[in-house]
Chains A and B, each alone.
Chain A
Amino acid sequence: MKIFDCPVLGPRPASEFLCAGSAIPGMQNDDLAGARHAVYFGDATAKVKREWWFHRASQLWFIVSRDTATDAVLDIGPAAGSGDPHVA
């Protein structure tokens, strides 16, 4: 089974987490057409991506860097304090 080596929770099975899609940078509230395009369109080729992942048991959000060609997790950290502009 695939294991996420989480800095907060320790090693946890991947099945405890839900993927909530790419962390899309630079979306602005005053540019709705741009936001729409950012949500529905993108470079969907295989590469390293920053994604939102949710741990169901602890209700914590994480930002994960994952290679979508190999499924290797390169980095995982709590969303809070990640410097991501979408995290309050």
Chain B
Amino acid sequence: MPGPRRVDHVTCSVCRVTTRTSVQPGVRVRGRRWATNKIDGPMFLRLLKYALNRDHAEPRWFNTPAAPQDRYDVVIVGAGGHGLAAAYYLAQRHGIRRVAVFDKGYLGGGNTGRNTTIVRSNYLTPEGVKFYDRSVRLFEGLAEELDTNLFYSNRGHFTLAHTEATLRTARWRAEVNRHYGIESTLVGPEAVKDACPWIDLECGGKHPIMGALYHAPGSIVRHDAVAWGYARGASRLGVEIFQNTPVTGIEVKAGRVTGVQTAAGLIRTERVLSAVAGSTPTLLKMVGLDSPVDIVPLQACVTEPMKPWLDTIIVSGSLHVYVSQTARGELVMGAAVDPAELHSTRSSLEFVTGLADQILDLFPFLAKVRINRQWAGMADMTPDFAPVMGKTAVKGFYLDAGWGTWGFKATPVCGETMAHTLAHDENHPLISAFGMERFERMHMLGEKGAAAVGH
């Protein structure tokens, strides 16, 4: 017998539409169990009706004018997370709304859409720790600020140590983190086993796990939603976004930026922000600066979906792997960067076979799980694994680069600090150590121990 009818009103967190639901558990339609609602019929019919109903049309997330204006206060090159976040904060915090964002491809189609979506702040240098901590805090309130469901999922993050040396670095990171009020602790192998019972602590007997750096705030976030959320937020405040519109040159006169040459014509502006990851050397060349970053592909892949079994993020620097499970059940996995410079997003069989080899040491039961997709992004690597940010030798040309394999987690704080830097023509205090002149002075930041592989 069907149970009593319950009538509820449910508001969708994304589209803000309220629907009536009246679910009678156990109603069968032609012998099959449908999710059925007595008022409006089975769910698939309701979805179809909803999709075709003009009253509930989802408004466009952002608008692109037919042509750009001939002058903007700020031009941002690159419509990825970093560029769009900077546009949003420029408009929202600093009232600078005559801003145009240009991208040669589609929104969030570069490294924003290619990373493995992990957010954490367990870095090694004080500069890095303070910077990424601010980013995690911004991320935590971002869904509300942007009124967008970012699928922010707090998982906890284990960086495994298989050697005494890694254990020492883990200890060092835990101490630096705790000094700055960040929840990171050194834990033993049993804590890893507790959080992830499927792991082989012996790693096939070859490199047993001796302990781990546990970082409680470690999370995964839907990366496309971050880019789209910032795009919508910026667009509502008057920012104009132009996709498929490459920037082909930057006009510099007497050491100052005067304009940007785009596929849609010459745009006058005195401030340009470069947020283009793998194309950074190309933009630097346009303004006549040498590049401190090199371009190296970073590859990643996902498995076929499976039932949830992994609710933490597992990273092993020694095995060169990191893995988490998405809401869809796929394992997202990545490894170290490719062995040499390459300006291409091709992916390789060597990557996926090498990664599978290492993952099976950690989780032997995955041997029969298939890889569904693999892809690559062009990472802009720096010698010290810290970013290159702020003002440059060319007045009005601002750089947000050197984000290598660690940039997604910094999206909000990069937007915030670069917006401040552009608005005041003065580096934000949080990025003062990240200027490119540090290589001339040999003031490296030494973030490799915490940035490499561990995402």
Please, how many angstroms separate the alpha-carbon atoms of A17 and B8 in the complex? Answer: 65
Which chain A residues lie closer than 8 Å to B169 at the CB level?
Answer: none
Q: Are A68 and B343 in contact (CB under 8 A)?
A: yes
CB distance from B265 to the nearest CB of A (A): 24
- Tell me if A9 is interfacial: C-beta within 8 Å of chain B: no
Q: Are A45 and B440 in contact (CB under 8 A)?
A: no
Instruction: Return the contact of A43 from the options B290, B342, B346, B440 (Cβ within 8 A).
Output: B290
Q: Are A42 and B291 in contact (CB under 8 A)?
A: yes
**Binary B-proximity of A1-31 (CB < 8 A = 1, otherwise 0):** 1000000000000010011000000000000
- Tell me if B144 is interfacial: C-beta within 8 Å of chain A: no
Q: Are B292 and A41 in contact (CB under 8 A)?
A: yes
Q: Are B290 and A71 in contact (CB under 8 A)?
A: no
Please, how many angstroms separate the alpha-carbon atoms of A69 and B346 in the complex? Answer: 11
Would you list which residues of chain B between 336 and 370 have a CB under 8 Å from chain A? 339-344, 346, 349-350
Q: Knowing A33-B440, A36-B442, A37-B440 touch, does A44 contact B294 (C-beta < 8 A)?
A: yes
Q: Knowing A18-B339, A36-B439, A36-B442 touch, does A44 contact B344 (C-beta < 8 A)?
A: no
- Tell me if B212 is interfacial: C-beta within 8 Å of chain A: no
By CB atoms of chain A within 10 A, which of B284, B290, B346 has the most?
A: B290
Please, how many angstroms separate the alpha-carbon atoms of A66 and B339 in the complex? Answer: 13
CB distance from B363 to the nearest CB of A (A): 24
- Tell me if A46 is interfacial: C-beta within 8 Å of chain B: yes
Number of interface residues of A (CB under 8 A): 21
- Tell me if B435 is interfacial: C-beta within 8 Å of chain A: no
CB distance from B414 to the nearest CB of A (A): 21
- Tell me if B293 is interfacial: C-beta within 8 Å of chain A: yes
Which chain B residues lie closer than 8 Å to A1 at the CB level?
Answer: 349-350
Q: Are B291 and A15 in contact (CB under 8 A)?
A: no
Chain B residue with Cβ nearest A20: B340
CB distance from A72 to the nearest CB of B (A): 11
- Tell me if B24 is interfacial: C-beta within 8 Å of chain A: no
Chain B residue with Cβ nearest A33: B440
Q: Knowing A1-B350, A15-B350, A18-B339 touch, does A43 contact B344 (C-beta < 8 A)?
A: no
Instruction: Return the contact of A40 from the options B340, B346, B440 (Cβ within 8 A).
Output: B440
- Tell me if A49 is interfacial: C-beta within 8 Å of chain B: yes
By CB atoms of chain B within 10 A, which of A1, A51, A68 has the most?
A: A68
Q: Are B439 and A68 in contact (CB under 8 A)?
A: no
Number of interface residues of B (CB under 8 A): 24
By CB atoms of chain B within 10 A, which of A1, A43, A46 has the most?
A: A46
- Tell me if A70 is interfacial: C-beta within 8 Å of chain B: yes
Q: Knowing A1-B350, A15-B350, A45-B281 touch, does A40 contact B292 (C-beta < 8 A)?
A: yes
Chain A residue with Cβ nearest B295: A44
Q: Are A71 and B342 in contact (CB under 8 A)?
A: yes
Please, how many angstroms separate the alpha-carbon atoms of A38 and B45 in the complex? Answer: 66
Q: Are B341 and A41 in contact (CB under 8 A)?
A: no
Would you list which residues of chain B between 379 and 414 have a CB under 8 Å from chain A? 383
Instruction: Return the contact of B281 from the options A15, A18, A44, A66 (Cβ within 8 A).
Output: A44
Which chain A residues lie closer than 8 Å to B439 at the CB level?
Answer: 36, 40-41
CB distance from B279 to the nearest CB of A (A): 9
Chain A residue with Cβ nearest B291: A44
- Tell me if B285 is interfacial: C-beta within 8 Å of chain A: yes
CB distance from B140 to the nearest CB of A (A): 35
Would you list which residues of chain B between 316 and 348 have a CB under 8 Å from chain A? 339-344, 346
Q: Are B341 and A49 in contact (CB under 8 A)?
A: yes
Q: Knowing A40-B440, A43-B281, A43-B285 touch, does A19 contact B340 (C-beta < 8 A)?
A: yes
Which chain A residues lie closer than 8 Å to B442 at the CB level?
Answer: 36
Which chain A residues lie closer than 8 Å to B440 at the CB level?
Answer: 33, 36-37, 40
Chain A residue with Cβ nearest B380: A44
Which chain B residues lie closer than 8 Å to A18 at the CB level?
Answer: 339
Would you list which residues of chain A between 49 and 66 have a CB under 8 Å from chain B? 49, 51, 66
Which chain B residues lie closer than 8 Å to A71 at the CB level?
Answer: 342, 344, 346
Which chain B residues lie closer than 8 Å to A68 at the CB level?
Answer: 295, 341-343
Which chain B residues lie closer than 8 Å to A33 at the CB level?
Answer: 440
Chain A residue with Cβ nearest B339: A19
Beyond the given A40-B383, A41-B292, A71-B342, please list 6 additional residue pairs across the A-B interface where CB-CB is below 8 A: A19-B339, A42-B291, A44-B284, A44-B341, A45-B282, A71-B346
Q: Closest 10 A-B residue pairs measured CB to CB?
A: A44-B281, A41-B290, A46-B343, A40-B439, A19-B340, A44-B291, A45-B281, A68-B341, A69-B343, A44-B294
A-B contact pairs, 26 of them (CB 8 A): A15-B350, A19-B339, A33-B440, A36-B439, A36-B440, A36-B442, A40-B383, A40-B440, A41-B290, A41-B292, A41-B439, A43-B285, A43-B290, A43-B291, A44-B280, A44-B293, A44-B294, A45-B281, A45-B291, A46-B295, A51-B340, A66-B340, A68-B295, A68-B342, A71-B342, A71-B344
Residues of B within 8 A of A (CB): 280-282, 284-285, 290-295, 339-344, 346, 349-350, 383, 439-440, 442
